[in-house]
Chains A and B, each alone.
Chain A
Amino acid sequence: MRSPRELSVLALAGGLAMALLAGCGQSSSGSPGAAASTQAVSTHQVTDSTGASVTVPNTIHRIADSWEAHNEVVTMLGGGNKIVATVLKPSSVPWLYTVDPALNKAPTVFTDTTVNTEKLVQTRPDVLFTDDALQTAAKTSELGIPTVQLGFQTYQGLENVVNITADVLGPAAGAQARKYNSYLNSKLAAVSAVTSKIPEAQRPRVLHIYSLDPLVVDGTHTMINDWITAAGGRNAAQVVGQTRPVSIEQVVQWNPDVIILASSAFDAADTGPQTVAKLTSDPAWDQLAAVRDHRVYINPTGGWHWDRYGIEEALQIQWAAKTLHPELFRNLNMVAETKSFYSKFLHYQLTDEQAKRILAGQNPT
């Protein structure tokens, strides 16, 4: 039934498979651990957001970061010029590249879900920070890159991520982390002290729009909900979770008092005002209280989107409080506050003009 030649072909193919199998078996037993540099230098243990214990070198020279918002955390903690591989592109966060021009030298080796492993290895990172939702950690750990998985959903979680990152980067970063966390807490406390006295009926119902087409909003149990509440508002969106698709009918029913547009909601090349103007003239929208009362605002965007999960949440609560309740926060000067934040935490002196552009959700000139 089978010719001898066919049998020999099968045997050859089988032999090849066996040889490769043997190779795999070996590597799984003798995987060469951490990066070569760490064998010579001292290391310490860090517990990441998943609870895993990761061994990292005491001195970090080269950082890979596959979580977009976290690149700014690294920059704040003094590691900005050590980033050698990133997920960012200058066009995605132009302000961070303005504040930390060294980022321009770091190649983009990640997408939001994948990593070009060969390019990542060529950059010889001492540590990799990654979003704990990603599935790439198993692969990068196997390559001997200490992989710190991070994630947060609350202000407390944000503090933890800042602290874990500081644990990796060293003592100088620790001091900066404490400074940031105390700033975040003091601002949260100061704003809440004013807004907690506002009766429920006077809290405007705020709709945070992530995207207009398709219509996507942020619901409860999110950080967006947290800053709306802290700033003295109520989330108008009666859905659970971030970035939920909803219908315009639902929005009409919620009839929000205030609408805040994320920069992701802008029409293609628009910087915001045109999108706001379009809403005002759209019959589906112009009957909403927020549109009628001209209470449609554009969310500020700096090194990361203020409204989303990043360190500039500390500024967001203040901006949102002043936006929702201007009469209660007359003394809060957001231009000055933004400049002071950038100077203190990102070591960059913004001009008034730059601070105003950030507050208007516009890119650097």
Chain B
Amino acid sequence: VSTAVSHEVSAGPVSPPRWRRLPVLSVLVVVLLVSVAVSFSVGVTAYSPELIVRDLAAHLTGHPVTVSRVDDVTIWLIRMPRIFAAVLIGAALAAAGSAYQALFRNPMVSPDLLGASGGAGVGASLGILLSWSIIEVQLVAFAFGLAAVVVTYAVGTAVGRGRESTLTLVLTGIVVASLCSAMISLTKYVADPDNKLPEITFWLLGGLDTVTIRTSLLPIIIPIVAGMIVLLVLRWKLNVLSFGDEEAASMGVNPQVVKSFVIAGATLMTAASVSAAGMVGWVGLVIPHAARALVGPDTRRALPASALLGAIFLLGVDDLVRSVFTTEVPLGILTAMVGAPFFLLMLARGRRTWT
């Protein structure tokens, strides 16, 4: 399969355009910080920066809160966890997508390729169907997400040998994902349409509204940060892998080991994200493209850029959810509605380098 990533990488030592030499990563960090600041002030009610700083400072320093109770709850207990979750999950999905696109040398790959989202969806639907608490639903979603990828990886490596192993892995992933989606449909079919069915449907579409600090946010921080560290450490080796397994081996990189670690890291991040926020689509597919458009195909820069862009993107979309609509709209719908045209735009712009 001739792909964008391999093309761009193998395009040779063409010097990047002048603007690519700007400190894009630093600019993205600044944009992210500004987005976080702005996100605190937008919503059902707009708050002045002074009020937000006063409230946040009081909490962070342990001083008594001087803003009104309603404002304090809105800023500290609603917006802060949501903003933090959007940043964390956006970064996780985009980084995992970026790593997978490099690993599988295919620009159409997203982090749910090996069944992580599907497995998590099965776990969550079952948990909701059985009326488990929100934390139990999240844990079982996480466990099923990991389990689905373990099954894919075990079957894929057992069946596939030699040069075809990657293709076999991807095909196994598609099979496992389809199986998961059938199982999700089954839970929806047997679910009580008055309460369980809408609950499952909404969960599958994704959202950050029920994110709580203790039950949703704290449990996902460790897997996401751990996965992120693995991907950041291995991003140079991912670059080498994009030349092909044999070339990588000749450069002293063991492709199987790198693959296993990258898949493990990306799976941890994806399963954790999906378990807390549901199936937020498109972030892991579109954002890595945007990142490569900004900093070029070099994974060493594309991966952190992708993480930062993903955080900014999901934060922005969730701000839309919070401020534009009077009742909560599933996040997954908006990421698709914003992500899909964006993707088309990039396809149109990038056509010359792709064909």
Contacts and interface: CB of A to CB of B under 8 A. Distances in A.
B44 A114 contact: no
Contacts of B155: none
Contacts, number: 153
Contacts of A27: 59, 76-77, 80, 213
A32 interface: yes
B210 A122 contact: no
Interface in A1-43: 1-2, 5-6, 8-10, 12-13, 16-17, 19-24, 26-28, 30-32, 35-36
B327 A111 contact: yes
Contact of A131 (B23, B195, B232): B195
A68 to B, nearest CB: 9
Nearest to B214: A28
B207 interface: yes
Interface in B96-151: 128, 131, 133-135, 137
Nearest to A68: B194
Interface in B198-232: 198-199, 201-203, 207, 209-215, 217-218, 221, 225, 232
A2 B235 CA distance: 11
A6 B209 contact: no
A122 B194 contact: no
B59 A9 contact: no
Interface in A110-157: 110-119, 121-122, 124, 131, 133-136, 138-139, 142-144
B172 to A, nearest CB: 32
Nearest to A119: B44
B192 interface: yes
B59 A242 contact: no
Contact-size category for A: 35 or more
B60 interface: yes
A341 B178 CA distance: 53
B264 to A, nearest CB: 21
Contacts of A124: 70
B80 A139 contact: no
Contact of B78 (A113, A143, A243): A143
Contacts of B79: 118
Contacts of B70: 121-122, 124
A139 B87 CA distance: 19
Contact of A143 (B56, B59, B77, B215): B77
Given A35-B69, A121-B74, A242-B194, A115 B209 contact: yes
Contacts of B322: 118
Nearest to A131: B195
B73 interface: yes
A113 B199 contact: yes
B349 to A, nearest CB: 26
B7 interface: no
Given A1-B236, A135-B137, A23 B199 contact: no
Interface string B27-59: 001001100000000011100000000001001
A109 B72 contact: no
B307 to A, nearest CB: 8
B60 A22 contact: yes
B209 A116 contact: yes
B328 A144 contact: no
B41 to A, nearest CB: 12
B137 to A, nearest CB: 7
B232 A10 contact: yes
A22 B74 CA distance: 19
The DSSP consensus for interface residues of chain B is helix
Contact of A118 (B26, B45, B128, B211): B45
Nearest to B24: A9
A15 B79 CA distance: 20
A136 B232 contact: no
Contacts of B207: 114
A216 interface: yes
B9 interface: no
Contacts of B353: none
Contact of B45 (A8, A122, A143): A122
Contacts of B81: 24
B279 to A, nearest CB: 15
A136 B195 contact: no
Given A27-B80, A116-B44, A134 B199 contact: yes
A12 B29 contact: yes
Nearest to B328: A114
A114 B301 contact: no
B226 to A, nearest CB: 13
B2 interface: no
A32 B137 CA distance: 26
B23 A113 contact: no
B77 to A, nearest CB: 5
A26 B80 CA distance: 12
Contacts of A13: 29, 32, 304, 308
Contacts of A112: 195, 198
Given A28-B218, A119-B326, A138-B135, 14 more contacts: A9-B25, A27-B59, A27-B213, A31-B213, A108-B327, A114-B210, A118-B45, A118-B322, A121-B70, A135-B203, A138-B134, A143-B77, A243-B192, A243-B194
Interface of B: 23, 25-26, 29, 32-33, 43-45, 56, 59-60, 62, 65, 69-70, 72-74, 76-81, 84, 87, 128, 131, 133-135, 137, 189, 192-196, 198-199, 201-203, 207, 209-215, 217-218, 221, 225, 232, 236, 300-301, 304, 308, 322, 326-328
Interface of A: 1-2, 5-6, 8-10, 12-13, 16-17, 19-24, 26-28, 30-32, 35-36, 107-119, 121-122, 124, 131, 133-136, 138-139, 142-144, 216, 241-243, 245
10 contacts: A23-B56, A26-B59, A108-B327, A109-B327, A113-B199, A114-B209, A115-B328, A116-B326, A116-B327, A118-B74
